[in-house]
Amino acid sequence: MPNSFRPAILLLFFYALGLIVSQSIFADDNINDYSFKFTITLPANWDKKDMKETKDKDGISYSFESKDKKITFMILAFKLTSVKNLDDFIYNMEKDISLNIPQRSGDYTEKDFGTYDMKAGIYKDNNFYENIYYFRTKLPDAPNNYVYLVRFITTPIEVNNDTEAQIKAIIDSFKSTVE
């Protein structure tokens, strides 16, 4: 093998190795929670900050933060023995003093996914701008049903097309996996 050919092969090898490593470093992160029957995909620019499950294993919370510290979001999931009324769930979450949710601005948007449905709203005050999505499964014969709150929090000054696109990409990846 000619001497000039060897460096080219080594260079190609290290380039390919670097490509593989960078793809794993910058790859999206899939959260698959088998106990609470949901999946969501986070872009590479997000970090998981915390995860807590209740002692009775009937509730879980996740919290995440963008690497630039401009947006945080949380997921609350609860396991139930029956189908929960979505409006009741929303009312309880909005009134929960520990969540400190600002006043809703405008109407809810709604979507039906067959085995689960969703309502979403914008909540804001002088300090925070929040996109909150409420989901509930609706399988009356299933042993368990679930409700989810997915809450994105930022400041009013950080709300722009890029922020909205990031939120949309993440929330569009949310799926309840209940059957």
Residue ranges per domain, the chain?
28-176
DSSP 93-151: HHH-TTT----EEEEEEEEE-SSEEEEEEEEE-SS-EEEEEEEEE--TTSS-EEEEEEE
What is the predicted pLDDT for the residue at 164? 93
| Cα 173 from Cα 39, distance rounded (Å) | 8
Q: Is the pLDDT of residue 9 over 70?
A: no
Beta strands at 72-80 and 38-42: parallel, antiparallel or unpaired: unpaired
153, β-bridge pairs: 72, 130
| Cα 86 from Cα 104, distance rounded (Å) | 16
Report residue 81 CA to chain centroid gap: 24
Q: Is the pLDDT of residue 22 over 50?
A: no
104 CB-contact burial (10 Å; exposed 0-12 / middle 13-18 / buried 19+): middle
What is the predicted pLDDT for the residue at 97? 86
Beta strands at 29-33 and 59-66: parallel, antiparallel or unpaired: unpaired
Does 28-176 carry CATH code 3.40.1000.10? yes
Percent of the chain scoring above 70 in pLDDT = 84
What is the predicted pLDDT for the residue at 3? 54
